[in-house]
């Protein structure tokens, strides 16, 4: 067989190398140097020595696995979760929470400095409880024919296989206690082989589950779920497809949560922040940074169901929220009426399209908040500059796009006043952040 030369094909040295990690990246991988090359090593902490074997090698860097760890860092801790070695949900339970958070803050500072040239601290950090913080979780369901068992859990790392979990230490305890009885209930259904996934959500007025089923449920299955609902004091919603959603019991109350003195009713499928404690701190920080006054007109872009918009409207002359998902806009409008806020408007608009002719875009605003998805807000940054607000608060789930979009404001003469790292998802690689920009130089106390 003829073989063609590929310049990108590189052989991997499978020999054993001894290294000492000198840093940690945001993914929780140890960073070591060997013969001038940076090596990323899963499971190794700064200061630890290990014998490693390369698993992937590029021109500039390599990846490796630990063959034998020769020393332990004082920041190495025993994971609380019994599934940590196989479950893909958490990657950093072996790392002390202090090191996790500080590493993410360092990564954020480095990205901003690299992209903008500004050396700014991401401290103090907005911290989370180390465990028991998730108020929402989506679990895969996978029927195992040989074992005649429905597996319920998160996906195994780097596979589509479901890890059958009975405990999850990052879930709120009110949700974790449901795992075993819920698994028993679902395994007893006639439709056990035709279930898609299940979502667990903790509202301020109690827990709920959303069950995705692929075929119509038989009356006996509905009765089994009713019994589970009553015995476990949990609301149950049924989703026969990706669009339909119906409460199992007609008398189930609407789920809601409170933030900054505002009550937000939501649909079980609406996006809400997973970490309630960090969300409370994040909204409070945003309101403080905006320094809201009764005469302000505030624009909230990528507003969702009004997590920021409605608390802002409670303090200003007028607030406008713009969001691309129609269901979230409807929830925002409903909650504005519920909270008797008549000074707020919500618009359903595509913020990736030409926004200049959209109805909200011709209004004047003196302060702006935006909370885009991972892709960032490239499509609206020029318009924000055109509005010339006094202050801009940018909430981000991707530090790379935050750093990129920051340059538009900086080039327009804005000052980067403050940055915070939000420890929204402890034990994972996810990094949330927020930044304050001001048209005039200012300092934060």
Closest C-alpha among 269, 294, 291, 273 to residue 282: 273
pLDDT tens across 108-121, in order?
999 999 999 999 99
- Tell whether residue 323 is among the known ligand binding residues: yes
- Report whether pLDDT(1) > 70: no
**DSSP code for 284:** H
Q: For residues 371, 377, 380 and 386, what is the CA-based torsion angle, rounded to 10 degrees?
A: 80
Confidence at residue 12, expressed as pLDDT on a 0 to 100 scale: 60
Q: Could you give the residue numbers annotated as active site?
A: 397
pLDDT average, residue stretch 53-68: 92
- Tell whether residue 303 is among the known ligand binding residues: no
Confidence at residue 241, expressed as pLDDT on a 0 to 100 scale: 83
- Tell whether residue 273 is among the known ligand binding residues: yes
- Tell whether residue 168 is among the known ligand binding residues: yes
Q: Could you identify the residue written with the tokens 């789930």? A: 397
Closest C-alpha among 402, 407, 409 to residue 383: 409
- Report whether pLDDT(371) > 70: yes
**All structural domains of the chain:** 16-69 (2.40.50.140), 105-129+275-438 (3.40.50.150), 136-256 (2.40.50.1070)
Q: Are 271 and 328 in contact (CB under 8 A)?
A: yes
Q: For the chain, first and last CA: distance in Å?
A: 71
Band (pLDDT 50/70/90 cuts) for residue 3 is very low
d(CA 358, CA 345): 14
pLDDT average, residue stretch 52-78: 94
- Tell whether residue 350 is among the known ligand binding residues: yes
Rounded to 5°, the CA angle 71-53-18 comes to: 45
* Least confident stretch, 125-139, 145-159, 204-218: 145-159
Confidence at residue 158, expressed as pLDDT on a 0 to 100 scale: 75
Q: Are 196 and 224 in contact (CB under 8 A)?
A: no
- Tell whether residue 199 is among the known ligand binding residues: no
pLDDT tens across 270-319, in order?
999 999 999 999 999 999 999 999 999 999 999 999 999 999 999 999 99
- Tell whether residue 81 is among the known ligand binding residues: yes
Q: Considering the chain, what percentage of its residues have pLDDT values greater than 70?
A: 97
Q: What is the largest CA-CA distance in the chain?
A: 77
pLDDT tens across 168-209, in order?
999 999 999 999 999 999 999 999 999 999 999 999 999 999
Edge-first strand listing for the sheet containing 235-239: 149-153, 136-144, 195-203, 206-213, 235-239, 246-247
**Contacts of 64 by beta carbon, 8 Å cutoff, 6+ apart:** 17, 39, 40, 41, 42, 52, 53, 54, 55
* pTM for the model: 0.93
Q: Give the residues across from 137 on adjacent strands.
A: 200
- Tell whether residue 371 is among the known ligand binding residues: yes
- Tell whether residue 302 is among the known ligand binding residues: yes
Neighbours of 295 (CB within 10 A): 9
d(CA 80, CA 186): 26
Mean pLDDT of the chain: 93
d(CA 301, CA 298): 10
- Tell whether residue 102 is among the known ligand binding residues: no
Band (pLDDT 50/70/90 cuts) for residue 14 is confident
């Amino acid at each position: 067989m003829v073989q063609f030369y590929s310049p990108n094909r590189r052989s991997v040295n499978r020999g054993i190398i001894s290294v000492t990690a000198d840093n940690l990246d945001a993914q929780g991988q140890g960073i070591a140097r060997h013969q001038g090359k940076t090596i990323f090593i899963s499971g190794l902490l700064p200061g630890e020595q290990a014998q490693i074997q390369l698993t992937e090698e590029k021109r500039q860097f390599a990846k490796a696995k630990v063959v034998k760890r020769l020393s332990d860092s004082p920041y190495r801790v025993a994971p609380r979760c019994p599934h940590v070695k196989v479950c893909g949900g958490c990657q950093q339970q072996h790392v002390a929470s202090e090191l996790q958070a500080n590493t993410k803050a360092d990564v954020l500072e480095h990205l901003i400095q690299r992209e903008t040239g500004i050396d700014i601290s991401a401290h103090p950090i907005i911290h989370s409880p180390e465990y028991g913080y998730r108020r929402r979780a989506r679990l895969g369901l996978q029927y195992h024919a040989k074992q005649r068992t429905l597996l319920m859990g998160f996906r195994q790392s780097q596979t589509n296989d479901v890890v059958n979990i009975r405990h999850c230490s990052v879930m709120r305890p009110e949700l974790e206690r449901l795992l075993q009885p819920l698994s028993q209930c679902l395994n007893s259904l006639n439709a056990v082989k035709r279930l898609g996934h299940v979502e667990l959500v903790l509202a301020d007025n109690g827990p709920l589950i959303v069950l995705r089923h692929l075929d119509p449920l038989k009356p006996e299955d509905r009765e089994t779920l009713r019994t589970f609902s009553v015995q476990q004091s949990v609301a149950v919603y049924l989703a026969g497809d990706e669009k339909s959603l119906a409460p199992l019991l007609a008398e189930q109350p609407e789920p809601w949560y409170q933030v900054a003195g505002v009550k937000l009713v939501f649909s079980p499928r609406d996006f809400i922040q997973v970490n309630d404690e960090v969300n409370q701190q994040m909204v409070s920080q945003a309101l403080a940074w905006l320094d809201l006054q009764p005469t302000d007109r505030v624009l909230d872009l990528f507003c969702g169901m009004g997590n920021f918009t409605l608390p802002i409207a409670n303090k200003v002359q007028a607030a406008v929220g713009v969001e691309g998902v129609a269901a979230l806009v409807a929830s925002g409008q409903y909650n504005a009426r519920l909270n008797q806020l008549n000074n707020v408007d919500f618009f359903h608009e595509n913020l990736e399209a030409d926004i200049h002719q959209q109805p909200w875009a011709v209004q004047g605003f003196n302060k702006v908040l935006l909370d885009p998805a991972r892709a960032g807000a490239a499509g609206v940054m020029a318009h924000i500059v055109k509005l010339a607000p006094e202050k801009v608060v940018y909430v981000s789930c991707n530090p790379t796009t935050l750093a990129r979009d920051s340059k538009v404001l900086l080039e327009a003469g804005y000052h980067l006043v403050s940055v915070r790292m939000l420890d929204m998802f402890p034990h994972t690689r996810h990094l949330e952040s927020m930044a304050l920009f001001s048209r005039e130089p200012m300092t934060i106390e």
